[in-house]
Amino acid sequence: MPGRFAVAAFVGLAAVVFVATTKAADLQMIAPNIPPHFDDQGKGRIGDVIKASLNACGHTVSFTMVPFGRHWKEYRDNEEFDGLETAEADQSFPGYTTDPFMHLQDGATVLAGTDLERIASVEELHGKRIVAFPDADSILGIQSSVPKFKSFKMRADRFDQIRPLFAHRADAVLADGLITANFIRILRENAAAGLEPDIDATLPAAFRKIFAPGPQRLYFRDEAIARNFDRCFQELLRSGEVERITKPYVDRYREVLGNQYPNY
């Protein structure tokens, strides 16, 4: 029995020492501008959770926003950034990774009311006209399906991905569902203002999660900050605060997403 008490006391003391030596920090992080996950100020479904988790640990955070893809290079090249948001499961960067904490959800956005509205696999798109983002064939692991599509085009501009869908020149857009839904909203607003005369943006769309969710992680150059983040995120998750933050960002697009996109 005394041995057990000694071990418990040592563990408790170690926890106190760890917390005490992790000083509050003003963190500079770099992130991609991909609304609704991160807007040009760093606010969004993921950005707000990161800020809330770090604030709960006593840290403050400032975001430098850059185009998607550039954030990875900037973090590698510039030690002025204390942290990177976010990294995919198969990526590694300088510093210390957090546990996976949020998920992106790639899938197929199609026109509602068609025979594709209930698809559950990429194989059901064989013979169809597909538009996707750059490197989607390798990122989504669909290289073997590409020759079986009627056509497959990868385009960097988000509007160039979704315009063909509403012009009946494509059958599905492969990309993150929430990002695609946001650009559909913008496209519809532009069409209502007479700026998209070649498409029918009023056509209803539906998202299908035909790929596995993509867990996201952060990197910090300070290991103590990474562990701080893990602990404080889990506390916010258990309290329901994470879902309170993220749910409105997803609910705004339920007309397209249905029940196919996770809150976190």
pLDDT beyond 50 at 11: no
Return d(Cα 166, Cα 264) in angstroms, integer. 29
Q: What are phi and psi of 83, to 5 degrees?
A: -155, 160
Residue 150's pLDDT is what?
A: 98
Note whether 184 and 257 are within 8 A (CB). no
Query: What is the four-CA torsion angle of 239, 240, 246, 251, rounded to 10 degrees?
Result: -170
Tell me the CB-side half-sphere exposure of residue 221, using CA atoms within 13 A: 14
Query: pLDDT tens digits, residue range 63-122?
Result: 999 999 999 999 999 999 999 999 998 899 999 999 999 999 999 999 999 999 999 999
Return d(Cα 151, Cα 142) in angstroms, integer. 13
Instruction: Give the chain's domains with CATH numbers.
Output: 2-104+214-257 (3.40.190.10), 106-208 (3.40.190.10)
Note whether 229 and 97 are within 8 A (CB). no
Bridging pattern class, strands 60-66 and 26-32: parallel
Residue 83's pLDDT is what?
A: 98
Name the average pLDDT for the chain: 92
Which residues have C-beta within 8 Å of that of residue 48, sequence separation ≥ 6?
245, 246
* Average pLDDT value for residue range 141-146: 98
Longest dimension (CA), the chain: 80
Give the number of other CB atoms < 10 A from CB of residue 39.
15
Q: Report residue 172's pLDDT band, with 50, 70 and 90 as the boundaries.
A: very high
The pTM (predicted TM-score) of the whole model is 0.89
Give alpha helix (H) positions in the chain.
Answer: 2-21, 47-56, 70-77, 136-139, 158-166, 177-192, 223-239, 241-251, 254-257
pLDDT beyond 70 at 232: yes
Q: Partners of 139 in the beta sheet?
A: none
Buried b (16+ CB within 10 A) or exposed e, 158-194: beebbbbbbeeebbbbbbbbbbbbbbbbebbeebeee
Residue 181's pLDDT is what?
A: 98
Q: Which two tokens stand for residue 65?
A: 């926003």
